[in-house]
Structure 1
Amino acid sequence: MKRNLSLIIIAVLICLLTTNSVPTMKADALIQNHKMAQVAIVVKDIEKARKNWAMVLGMDVPEVSIAKSHPSRPTKYKGTPSSAEAKLAFFNLENIQIELIEPLGGNSTWQEFLDTKGEGIHHIAFMVKGIDGLERRFEMQGMPTDQNGGWEGGAYSYINAMQMLGCELELLENYQSN
């Protein structure tokens, strides 16, 4: 009996160790990266939120930066130029980044989320290459761009995937890594 149990355990271990745990990706996948980069939370008070998260995570309270339109890739909300600004704070964990966002004004997906849903998880983000082409591909699948813009050295797009996926997606492209 012990021998049979040992053989079963060994067989199960061999199966587990020889199974490819990395999912295969289809060539037509919209996102060619299965590593989530970020989870973002829209908050009313970033000072309070960053202190609370720091306490829970046992980390230092992160600095706050201001996100605003960049001249090389101005912010657009639903296709229209926007003066949207937000306070941002980031917690870099071992496997993912948590972003806190406090809207400061201007038409934005952040303010719309806060006004309609209150505080909560706004989006999940993936690093991508070729962000403009991806925006068009998502649009063809019924997922329009809610907001896009950039910063020195990169670009972002919020894809409205609520109907299809139940959440907003953020595409992030860092031009230095291309």
Structure 2
Amino acid sequence: MKDLGIFRQLHHVCIVVRDVEKAVTFYESAGVGPWKDFPPMDAYELNGYNREAFLQMRYKFATLDNVQIQLCQPGQGDTPQRRFLDARGEGVFHLGFTVDSVDAAQQQGIDAGLPLLGSGRLDDRSGFTYFNTADRGAGVTLEVRQASANASKGIKS
């Protein structure tokens, strides 16, 4: 596959865990942190996600000097994160890349033959798209994300 240009600016690594508090305790003991809770994610318009299951996921993040680390504890509902945890156990679920336009980046990925796994958009069209790449030789899911213009108001994407 040619370089699409959408997977060039790494923003974060997301690790799926069974117990987010236990994971935070471990990472803090190793000097990784501080950890913050994600803001409520109920403002997203979702595609490919069961809304109730999506809202059950617990996320925490630590912004380091060069990258953000995210921890995700899936709820019991059906989400790609829950399916990953059940099938593979704890580990890196996705790499998140910053793009200028998540809609344009999503279309580039589709045009290149990357199947969609799921997406979410806020009212300002910022948000995220996960591509179903884990079993295509990538080993992990690849995500493109565009930060919300409202990030300073506590809304994250």
Q: TM-score, normalised by structure 1?
A: 0.70
CA contact (8 A) 2:33 2:63 kept: no
* Identical-pair percentage: 24
Q: Structure 1 unaligned runs (5+)?
A: 1-27
Structure 1 segments, 4+ long, off by >4 Å, are none
The match for 2:111 is 140
The match for 2:29 is 55
CA distance in 1, matches of 2:32, 2:117: 34
**Cα pair distance change 1:147/1:105, threshold 3 Å:** farther
Q: TM-score, normalised by structure 2?
A: 0.79
Whichever residue aligns with residue 141 of structure 2, its letter is E
Equivalent residue runs for 1:1-178 within 5 Å? 29-32=3-6, 34-57=8-31, 59-60=33-34, 62-65=35-38, 68-70=41-43, 73-77=44-48, 82-83=51-52, 84-85=54-55, 86-151=57-122, 154-162=126-134, 163-176=136-149
* Equivalent residues, number: 145
Relative contact order (alpha carbons < 8 A, sep ≥ 6): 1 or 2 greater?
2
Q: Structure 2 unaligned runs (5+)?
A: 151-157
Q: Which has the larger radius of gyration?
A: 1
CA distance in 2, matches of 1:120, 1:152: 31
